[in-house]
Amino acid sequence: MYKVNVGKRILSANEEYALKNSQLLTEQKKLCLNMISSPGSGKTTILARTISDLKDKIKIGVIEGDIQTEIDAERIRATKAPAIQINTDGACHLSAAQVNSALENLPINDLDLIFIENVGNLVCPSAFELGETGKIAVLSVAEGDDKPAKYPSIFSKSKAMLINKIDLLGAGVQIDFDIERVKTDARKLNKGIEIFPISAKTGEGMADWCDWLRKEVKKLRA
């Protein structure tokens, strides 16, 4: 037996595509946000609402990742925004190569902001860089307030966190969700994380989130 030193990053093939995506987005000064959450946290509803709230201000395109179906891309197209659907056929996360070909099919010259809606999963997507400008963690109140503590990877890597479905907290529904605990736990691992409590259904809190997006788009153009 003999040993050979390799010292190679195992996901380097993915990282090469991520670098290509990042170079393209940086050159073109496009903001690209990778939305990561459990299934059912409301990512698509948030995106549809964000697109319509910002329709006169910034142009948004979406890359939709799902195991199967075009359902999400169709919901986005109903808002008139361009959307590319990627079906991963069983894979639990998007890869940078898939995003690379989706970017080729989006009219990115006409866009200010590209959202990537990753496959609903709080673990795997956080391990794959896509070349995005930043990650956005989405957590809905029905999932419980212990998630930042239990899933440190995504919350420690995200630029911002959306706490969705806050309308349920005041609706007389029995949900044990301490929003302050979520904020404290997330900030323990990620001091600079921006946190937006929202309801994509009622629109509560959406203005702060949208203002932040406009600021981030402006920052890139400066």
The answer to whether the CB of 126 falls within 8 A of the CB of 38 is: no
The answer to whether the CB of 117 falls within 8 A of the CB of 65 is: yes
Nearer to other proteins, 156 or 202 (CB): 156
Q: Does 8 bind other proteins (CB under 8 A)?
A: yes
Stretches 55-63, 66-74, 165-173, 182-190: which one binds other proteins (CB under 8 A)? 182-190
Q: Does 19 bind other proteins (CB under 8 A)?
A: no
Q: Does 190 bind other proteins (CB under 8 A)?
A: yes
To the nearest whole angstrom, how small is the minimum distance from the Cβ of residue 61 to other proteins? Answer: 26
Nearer to other proteins, 122 or 166 (CB): 122
Q: How far, in Å, CA of 60 to CA of 19, rounded? A: 22
Q: 168-183: buried (b, 16+ CB within 10 Å) or exposed (e) per residue?
A: bbeeeeeeebeeeebb
Tokens 């006409």 belong to residue: 110
The answer to whether the CB of 39 falls within 8 A of the CB of 93 is: no
Q: Which of 28, 52, 87, 156 binds other proteins (CB under 8 A)?
A: 156
Q: How far, in Å, CA of 171 to CA of 64, rounded? A: 31
Q: Does 5 bind other proteins (CB under 8 A)?
A: yes
To the nearest whole angstrom, how small is the minimum distance from the Cβ of residue 212 to other proteins? Answer: 22
Binding residues among 108-147 for other proteins as defined by CB under 8 A: 123-124, 126-128
